[in-house]
Amino acid sequence: MSEEDVIQNDPIIKIVMKAVEETCETMASAIFSQDPEFEEKDIIEYESRMRVFGLQKFNGPCFISVINFYADKSKFDSKDTCGTMVFYVEEVYARELLKALGQTGFDDEDEEFVMDNCGEIHNVISGKTKNDIKNEGYGELIISAPLKYRNDVPEGVEFNYNEEKLTEMSFFIKKKKVLVVDFVLLPIDKIKS
């Protein structure tokens, strides 16, 4: 079995993949042209934060949204994450996605509007993921509000320092990579301890 098969068969990764596909299909009638590609990658850490570079995902600009997962309110208050989801949307596709969502009359150059709406899509995906992983025994996790960026996150993002790897999931429309999700979540036994 290949590394991609192992990752793809992880129940939590399946939940994330399903949340992305269902949300994009339901909200924007987006149909992916092939199965997502999966890759396990090292987390690049600098000054205790995970480095996030959108330009490594696409050959051009993109919009980024970051949401963290927390085991409970006290962990949320102390910024002690148990998981992180980073959502990247290729710039041209982001605008097409918004039009498919029924957003009309917006200025294509209004980056703040595009970032806000990409963040809202990510929030729906993260909320669905949170609800579905509850059935895997994780309990009621708390998610942060989306933080939104363009191309990279210079200051990096919070992540759990016990994690060294993340799963990168790439999604394609018309054989072009348009969405990427980086996801990491502590194993259930580490969250509950």
Helices 11-28 and 91-100: angle between axes, nearest 10 degrees: 60
Q: What is the pLDDT of residue 80?
A: 93
- The segments of the chain whose pLDDT lies below 70 read 1-9, 100-108, 192-193
Q: What is the pLDDT of residue 1?
A: 45
Q: What is the pLDDT of residue 117?
A: 80
What's phi and psi for 117, nearest 5 deg?
Answer: -70, -35
- Give the start-end residues of each E strand in the chain: 37-42, 45-46, 49-53, 62-70, 83-90, 142-143, 147-150, 152-157, 165-173, 176-185
pTM across the whole model:
0.90
What is the C-alpha to C-alpha distance for residues 112 and 135, in angstroms, rounded to an integer? 35
Q: What is the pLDDT of residue 102?
A: 65
Question: Residue 153 contacts by C-beta under 8 Å, 6 or more apart in sequence?
Answer: 51, 52, 64, 66, 147
Q: What is the pLDDT of residue 160?
A: 92
Domains of the chain: 3-192 (3.40.1550.10)
Q: What is the pLDDT of residue 32?
A: 85
